[in-house]
A and B are shown apart, each in its own frame.
Chain A
Amino acid sequence: MDKSAASRAAAPADVRLRSTSGFIARFTRDFAINKYLYAMMLPVIAYYAVFHYAPIYGALIAFKDYSPMKGILHSEWIGLANFRDFFTSYYFWRILKNTLLISFYTLLFGFPAPILLALILNEVRGRFFKNFAQMVSYMPYFISLVVICGMIVSFTNNGGVVNNLLTHFGYDGQAMLQKPGLFRPIYVLSEIWQKIGWESIIYIAALTAIDQEQYEAARLDGASRLKQMRYITLPGIMPTITIMFILRIGNLLNVGFEKIILLYNSVTYETADVIASFVYRKGLIEFGWSYSAAVGLFNSVVNLALLIGANRMARKLSENSLW
């Protein structure tokens, strides 16, 4: 792992300007200097290797007719049959469309929401109120998803709080989760309600890093609060926003299927059934391990493409990007 012989040699002796600045040479030099930093990194690398890279080998079953009794290696190869099955499946276009739409709406409305909240909280003067508002807003994040979904179902059912309220304004009183057209709005709004407070924390942290003198200077120049927000605050947290956005794009297709499964039913399949819930039904209920693996793999590939695309775009449009 590390050369204990060289560890006593002081680093500078090792650092000679070599013409061969190959990666290996650079690495050994750097290693000699920062031995302990590398050692501290080890558990992290090990974690990723073991829990995120090793399982990739299991993705092999997407191309096989997996039978647990034969094991991954000995199961028969079937090539791309699973993928073909999926792409020609009757529901393929529907679940792809739903996945993209639900992700897109969640991004469109869910991404700016915490930023707005952070900006609003930033303008609040009263310390007590600010803390209180923050606490209330991130409380739902800590409630178990199953409980949240139970709440959503009973609120929107005939006789539920939300349903009754809307019935006053002329709604027909049916369980709202029985209306295909209402599924996505309910999903997205509840998503925002759940996560807005939690996600605003990072932006609030970024806001505190902005130099206060800039605001003073702006005030002396007579900038209104709106102008200050526009020319100082927003640019100040723009790097954070960009990075968060890219990360978010990378997860675009990972629509949380738990929530979908807890909320959807046969009537709303047409607007609610997504790749992940489809995989769940196929894999867990039909024992289609290989098929599910194939669909999951497809999902990951699309995610990767989107992430790279978003990163490219971010690099072109601003100076912030992941790499």
Chain B
Amino acid sequence: MKRKSSAKMLTAALFVSLVTAACSSNSSGPAETGNNTPAGGADGGSAAESTAYPLKTDKTLTYWAEIAGNLTGVKSELSDVPFFQDWQKMTGVPLKFTTVPATKGNENLTVMLASGELPDMIEYNWQNGFPGGPEKAIKDGYILKLNDLIDKYAPNLKKYLQEHPDVDKMIKTDNGSYYVFPFIRGDDYLKVYQGPIIRKDWLDELGLPIPETIDDWYTTLKAFKEKKGANAAIAFVGLPRPLNDFYNGAFVGAFGVTKDFYLDNGQVKFGPMEPGYKNFLETFHKWYAEGLIDKNIATADQKELDANFANGATGATVGNAGGGIGRWQPIVQAADPKAKLIGVPYPVLKKGDIAPFGQKDSAYSYGGSVAISAQSKNAELAARMLDYGYSEEGSLFFNFGTEGVSYKMDNGYPRYTDLIMKNPDNLAPAQAMSMYIRGNYNGPFIQDKRYIEQYLALPTQRDAVKTWQKTDEDKHQLPPVTPTPEESTEFAKIMNDVNTLVDEMTLKIILGVEPVSSFDSYVAKMKSLKIDRALEIQTAALERYNNR
């Protein structure tokens, strides 16, 4: 008897536990829209002149963010990163983090949004990482329109935007909605950080000048291959998209186009469908056929590029001053004490021309900006907390960390300590920075020029930035336009198919799988995928932007 009933009990228990384990409640109430009146917070809503930090609160806020790529292999949880621990102390607001692995933000956001359980704050590229754009994210009830919150509870950000109307224009949608606490590059010097890089010692050894035109490059790369045995004379990272670093117009720019949308005399154009792109492909195909370009162009990752530099297979690439020259200089030097990497101008066709395109961020750099979720019960507190990054004290903290720990004041100049520059745990400066400060990657604050002055420790890095600044990018850059939710969704659909096609065409023609003449049929395919409609959408959005 007893045995029998216990068997029954057991099976019943099993059944119940199985059912309850699998059933997740799906809240399906209609989303609040517009201005919700936030419950809780510090004190009942009298507009604070300037908030005194740390705030006093008994609440804990939830915060969703991707961890910095520099911390891969160092830390895996934001709650273990000293900067994030200190941030809570400084603002007085306890945070519960959801850590997303570096570069996996997109997939994770999809899953998180689909679950319907949103944290208070979501740090993400809301400008163009969400199909449908910021307006749609507000409309669908994911994130809040922040106008009232910023007006009432974010005096520091408000002040900055009043003083910088150009930035103010960028971080709004066409309807004038604020949607994030943005990452702002506080100085022109911070906006340029990428361009072509080359082994100066090889040039000197072979008696070659610094290459300026596409023809110079051809001669240079040929010499690298024949005289230095560089079998991947120029190499690039091929993931996640081929020629990743060409969006900004390196090499492509010489032919008057980029790999993306750009402005040409005020008109929006899409580079890969312009004749210039065909000439670029032709050139690159020739280089590839002659063995000047890395044979693994489509599959090479960062590690492979590092290895190519280390064993002298590569003498040129396109990369960043910090994460590029700063990363590879020690690698090449270890193999050859004379080795020296420098930044060189963006290539042009005619000697003496100024390159039309180059990498240059706008003052509002999209990634790492923080939205407050529409479900948050503590929107006011979140806004107060996020405003810290735009205050004087907060700006110092974000850019330089804690005084006496990660920086020391030196005649009013915040100087990084050895904890950052010569880390006792053998972390590279970039890694140490990502541990103790936030100046070297996007977040809700204003980036300080004094960070980059110290981060670019090598004179070659600082010179590189100066060299790369000499472009006409300003004339060609598309501002952060915001198509309407409907347009934006349509645009995302079209561009996904088009970009797949562009990547395919680019690689196939360069690798010689298909002849250069097939370019025209690809353009016809783009047209059948409605690229013209995408251009229309961008043009209309640009018009609205200019009329803001």
Contact = CB atoms under 8 A, between A and B. Distances in A.
B335 interface: no
Interface residues of B, number: 58
Contact of A270 (B19, B141, B504): B504
Contacts of B496: 281-282, 285-286
A269 B295 contact: no
A162 to B, nearest CB: 14
B301 to A, nearest CB: 9
Given A153-B299, A175-B299, A267 B511 contact: yes
A262 to B, nearest CB: 11
Contacts of B22: 50-51, 54
A158 interface: yes
B242 interface: yes
Contacts of A158: 295-296
Nearest to B240: A265
Contacts of A39: 7-8, 11
B121 to A, nearest CB: 17
A178 B492 contact: no
Contacts of B14: 42-43, 46
B298 A178 contact: yes
Nearest to A7: B4
Interface in A170-200: 173-175, 177-180
B130 A71 contact: no
B87 to A, nearest CB: 29
Contact of A287 (B110, B239, B241, B511): B110
A68 interface: yes
A46 B242 CA distance: 47
Contacts of A269: 500, 503-504
B418 interface: no
B374 A69 contact: yes
Interface of chain B: mostly helix, strand, loop or mixed: helix
B15 A46 contact: yes
A267 B507 contact: yes
B52 interface: no
B113 A287 contact: yes
A266 interface: yes
Interface in B433-461: none
Interface stretch (B25-33, B168-176, B315-323, B383-391): B25-33
Contacts of A136: none
Interface string A25-62: 00000000000100110110011001100100000000
Interface residue tally of chain A, by bracket?
35 or more
Contacts of B304: 157
Contacts of B12: 1
B140 interface: yes
A74 interface: yes
A74 B140 CA distance: 13
A316 B198 CA distance: 69
Contacts of A71: 26-29, 116
B493 interface: yes
Contacts of B11: 39-40, 42-43
Contact of B107 (A46, A89, A284): A284
A239 interface: no
A158 B528 CA distance: 36
Contact of B506 (A36, A40, A266): A266
B114 A289 contact: yes
A90 interface: yes
B538 to A, nearest CB: 18
A158 B511 CA distance: 14
Contacts of A50: 18-19, 21-23
A67 interface: yes
Closest 6 interchain pairs by CB?
A: A71-B28, A266-B503, A158-B295, A69-B141, A69-B31, A50-B22
27 contacts: A2-B8, A39-B7, A39-B11, A42-B15, A50-B21, A68-B113, A68-B115, A70-B31, A71-B28, A91-B497, A153-B299, A178-B298, A178-B507, A265-B239, A265-B299, A266-B298, A266-B506, A266-B507, A267-B508, A269-B500, A269-B504, A270-B504, A285-B107, A286-B493, A286-B496, A287-B110, A287-B130
